[in-house]
Chain A
Amino acid sequence: MRRRFAGILGLGILIASAATLGAAPTLKPFERGTWQGVLKGHAGRPTLVHFWGVTCGPCKVELPLLGQFAKDHPGIDVVTISADLVPNLPAATQSMLDKAGLSSTENFIFNDGFVERLRFEIDPAWQGDIPRTMLISRDGTITTIEGSAEMADLEKWSGQQLATH
């Protein structure tokens, strides 16, 4: 009986933990090796990867525009990565993504205190400035846009990507 009780208690804890995790359903931790996973996971598909952060003014302006872009271009995979220093704020990050219409895209948040190493894996020349957008074409060619992207440039790129399909 005691074991049974322990089992039920354990299950309860597990469910409670799952419920807690469920509060932030879409934010995935971005850790060592995650970048290669993102590249592999989207290989062969035109992918827009957007780096941003909750304390970055220009990011706040750009994020809703990107949300509209994602909505208008279902053929483009949109991935966002919150690249602020850790510890950053998952709740604030999720809230801004939700408001920008980016709840359903693949969303990551930096989750390694050694941000230099995370950035180095993505681009050894990147020093952490945000916003930053990487456009990955079907053949894996990466075009990096430093700072806020012009939506016209994203339109042009996506047009080229979808036309070549």
Chain B
Amino acid sequence: MLRMSLLATLVLSLCQDAAHAQMSHHQHASEAACEEPTLRCATKVTPAFGPDGTLWLAWMAGGQVSVASSSDAGRSFSAPTQVTTKRLNLDWGPDARPKIVIDRKGGIALAFSIFRDEAFNGQVLYTRSADGGKSFAELKPITANNESQRFEALALDQDGTVFAAWLDKRNRVPAKEAGRKYEGAGLFFASSRDGGATYAEAKLARDNTCECCRLGLTFAAPGRPAVIFRNIFEGGVRDHAVMTFADVSTPGEIHRVSNDDWQINACPHHGPSLTVAPNGTYHVAWYTSGKARKGLFYAHSRDEGRTFSAPMALGQPGRNPTRPYVLASAVGTVMVWKEFDGEKTSVQMMISRDDGENWSPPKTISSTTDTSDHPLLVSNGQQVYLSWMTKADGYRLTAIEDQP
């Protein structure tokens, strides 16, 4: 009997240990701090300021997309509104995140990707709130086409037009039927004249671009979207290109940002960033592992994205500089990226007062000891903030200090 009792104790204790291990293991193994749809559990958080200075966040957590707002620069948030009505297989790729823009009337346009089947084919869904984020319209696919779409981006024009761009695999079907090899994905776009309630038919801007990196999208001037993307150049070279549209329905020429010569048949999962200053200067930041250069780089263009300055390396090479983001604002041009020292991730920041000619030395403005989202910059017109979601420390909105 004693023997049986010992056995029972042993077995039960083994089970408890296993359960314990499984629980702690689960939290450790997840990118998320927790599994609820709350901001604290989010893995990807995207910020946008509204015209009244309200900060809006859209985030992915617990298989749901939600939004909330803050009128005190991120110190407190409104009760969240869940955009999704059921748990979805949200695109959890490293460069995926919900996108949000707020128009002059306070309308909120939102878009994000899901994996819609077991082969990880993506679908871009969109919705809109016309009541200040209290409720959202039913989710709709941004295009009727059923081939894979991912990496959507949204930008808002001065007149309220919402412009969407994304990567779309539809052209692989006719290529396959014709027995032709199809590389990458098409850069597609559509615009909305009703604040993101409906989008015009999708059109192709450029075929055979790299299929697995985020896009950088902004308006270079009223009516003229500009997009940076990892293109596939001759010979399978995945270097960056910029395209400025003639208007919201007419794509322009592509211009190579830099000849990095990264010939690779792979998913870099590491897209670029683009901002256009009020004076028209394009500022871009990107990652490459090309023959010509490796790492993070910055360049600018003073001729509407036709030619770019020599690439400037960012960060310490031994610290894996990653996820660059650049934003031009009234206070200067700000750039952030992440570095990792083997134990902790820090966000490095530089600022330029002369439109990208000279930059301050890099400065650590935030750090964390567990996994984190990409560092993003957001401006309310007067102040630039770092927006950064971290697993260990939650969401952070950090004002970029004025640099001497």
Chain A contacts to B: CB under 8 angstroms: 3-4, 6-7, 10-11, 13-14, 17, 29, 31, 53-59, 85-87, 92, 111-117, 119-120, 124-132, 146-148
Contacts and interface: CB of A to CB of B under 8 A. Distances in A.
A112 B8 contact: no
A162 to B, nearest CB: 27
Contacts of A56: 212, 266-267
A7 B11 contact: yes
A57 B93 contact: no
B5 A127 contact: no
A148 B212 contact: no
Contact of B266 (A58, A87, A113): A58
Interface in B288-345: 289, 294, 317-320, 322, 338, 340, 342-343, 345
10 contacts: A7-B7, A10-B8, A10-B11, A85-B93, A111-B25, A124-B319, A125-B289, A127-B289, A128-B270, A130-B267
Given A54-B120, A129-B269, A116 B320 contact: yes
A25 to B, nearest CB: 17
A54 B270 CA distance: 17
A85 B266 CA distance: 16
Contact of B270 (A57, A115, A127): A127
A127 B30 contact: no
B31 A130 contact: no
Contact of B29 (A29, A120, A130): A29
Contact of B267 (A17, A57, A119): A57
Interface in B148-167: none
A120 B5 CA distance: 48
Contact of B340 (A112, A120, A146): A120
B146 interface: no
A7 B370 CA distance: 40
A3 B5 contact: yes
A113 B268 contact: no
8 closest A-B pairs by CB: A7-B8, A10-B11, A147-B266, A147-B264, A148-B265, A113-B31, A129-B268, A114-B371
Interface string B181-225: 000000000000000000000000000000110000000000000
B94 interface: yes
Contacts of A4: 1, 4, 8
A113 B120 contact: no
B32 interface: yes
Contact of B11 (A11, A86, A115, A126): A11
A3 B29 contact: no
A112 B29 contact: yes
Contacts of B94: 85, 128
Contacts of A17: 15, 18
Given A3-B5, A58-B266, A113 B287 contact: no
Contacts of B11: 7, 10-11, 13-14
Contacts of B31: 85-87, 113, 115
